[in-house]
Structures are given as structure tokens and as C-alpha cells.
Amino acid sequence: MGNNKWECIRKNRIGDPLLIDDKVLLQIANDVRANAYCPYSNFPVGAALLCSDGTVFTGVNVENAVNGLSICAERTAIFKAVSEGHHDFVKLAVTCKGNHCQPCGACRQVIYEHAPDIEILMGNPGGKFVRTTIRDLLPEAFSL
């Protein structure tokens, strides 16, 4: 096992997404938040994306001096999953320093494009969190 204690979940397809409950998914997102590169905003964000086969992909925000070249945690997780051939997403957990982090507009559109029925958890593993859907966050999304 590598440096990340969640590596086994990401690498081994446990086959049942129900084995990963909401608090565990939030904890995974919270743990990877430490890897964020955010020297400009000092606002680290972590994301954990649960696929229908039980695989979890993580993401963090990665900033750049040219702000338009930065990427959010949610899009990082989705792009990693898509690049590995995964397209059936069940749930996305997002954590930050505050009570709960809401995906930005760009992330909402990307999430909708790849998973219009996904459930989203926003919060922190030790406290309260908000459960919603991408359709509720982006009710009139652009779609194919």
C-alpha cells in the first residue's frame, strides 16, 4: 500500500458502492484535501467521486498564477475517472475548511455533463453535511 490510506479503495474495485457510506466518502475527500495546491487562495478543497462499481477517484484544487489555468477538486476527480475509462458515477463528496463547499458553476456544468443524476455531499466528515443533487444545484444545465 502506498502513502495514501485510501489507495486500496481506489485501486481495488470493491464491487459494491453501498459499502462506502457517506461519512467514509466525505472522509476520503477530506483526507486528500491535504494535497491541494492553493498558494493564492489558501483554500484547499478535496473531492471523492464514487463510481457504480465501487471505485473511488479523488481530486484536489490545483491553482496557477494565471487563474484561468487553475482547476477545481471536483473536475480533477471527474477527469481522472474519465481518463481511466469510468463513466458511471453515483456520488460526489466535496470538503473544504468551511461548513460545506458548493461546486462552482464550471464544476456544476461538468458534473451535469458526466452524471446528471449524481448525488452530491457537501460538508465535513465530523460534522453536518448537505445532501443534494446536481439537478438541484444546476436546474437548467446545458445538455446534449
Residues known to be catalytic: 74
> According to DSSP H, which parts of 16-139 are helical?
22-32, 73-83, 105-114, 134-137
Report the DSSP pairing between strands 119-123 and 129-133. antiparallel
Of the candidates 42, 13, 14, 8, the one whose C-alpha atom is nearest the C-alpha of residue 28 is 8
Of the candidates 86, 65, 66, 68, the one whose C-alpha atom is nearest the C-alpha of residue 77 is 86
From edge to edge, which strands make up the β-sheet containing 46-51? 56-60, 46-51, 89-95, 119-123, 129-133
Of the candidates 59, 6, 18, the one whose C-alpha atom is nearest the C-alpha of residue 35 is 59
